[in-house]
Structure 1
Amino acid sequence: MSEPHDDDDDDAALFRAAIGAVRKLPEQPSPPAAPKPKPRARMAEMDEANAREEFRHALDASLLESGDVLAHRDERLPVAIYQRLRRGEIAAEEELDLHGADSRTAEALLRAFLGDAARHGSGCVRVIHGKGRHGSADVGSSGAPVLKNLVDRMLRQRASVLAYHSAPPAQGGTGAVLVLLAPPKRR
């Protein structure tokens, strides 16, 4: 009996004899590789994320309590106009209600809202943040209202914000803030 290895050799020889002479095909260039991703500044991204996280969780001695008034005036704004804002004499053109939002969602909503209001030329807007009395999500570990302090910090850092003040009692009191935005030409 012959070995299977010999049968394989015989089959290969028969195959080559049946096909005849073989010529090698010219080599095709390989297809182009997928483009490499553009370089990213990963350390800068990490630094920015860390700064946002620290900003979000910063606890300092100036945290506002639920009954405290939010107030800030940029030096560009005349005192008389700020006094009108304080008294609620400037009507809010748009309103954002942050009740029930967590701090990340509230931050994103507030950024988008202020950007949209500035693009559309709104002069005064109202942001309802609540007083932080009705749930553990509204109050931080220090007992201070989370959204109220978040709104205060964010508004202070916006170049488009000329002034803000807690609303009069009929418009939400210390649970809402009236924000005066700079006209597009002054930004």
Structure 2
Amino acid sequence: MRRQVVLFLLLLLLPLASLQAQEVLVCDGVSHFPIRDVLVIADGKNIGLTTWKGLITLPDTFQTASFKKKGYAPEKLLRNEVLRDTVFLYPAEHYLDEVIVTGKQIVDGRELLKRMPKRDILEKRPPSGLGGFDLGLILDKRYRRDRRHVKTLREIFKKMDGLEDKEDPILKAYRQTQQELKADSIQKKNEEKEPKR
């Protein structure tokens, strides 16, 4: 009878063990030291701040958790990403706000490709000593794999390119924009000249 009561109590307490909250350590991504006073928000609800040891207890059921502290880039992680017990925050000084890339020279890729020396795995084979027969080349799995890979890539690129004489869409858009800007500047000059008459 006593064993049955103990088993019954264990069965009742077993689901409660899985509802245990999870403790997470929040560390600096560069120095790997714990960070104190990190604001933790789970599913929009404020959980609290980390302790001086960098520890915070998260509830068992949540979808996303956000970690924020001044001087660090904020992190928003899903539940399965937080289950690894340690969250790293990286200093904000290592992050770029925005990157602007400007081009100063237009390069025609097709023309450049025509001038490049031909090194084609499909057409040129390494020289062999026995009149075209090379047992090492026949047994080379990497060479055969590379040939198949190049062949399939060429077919894919032909489909992507469509016809050979089509103009590159990026270059076409760039030329149209340049023509529109030129037409706008000419129109502005003409408008400035007209009121002076």
Higher RCO structure (Cα 8 Å, ≥6 apart): 1
Report if TM-score (shorter chain) is over 0.5.
no
Q: TM-score, normalised by structure 1?
A: 0.20
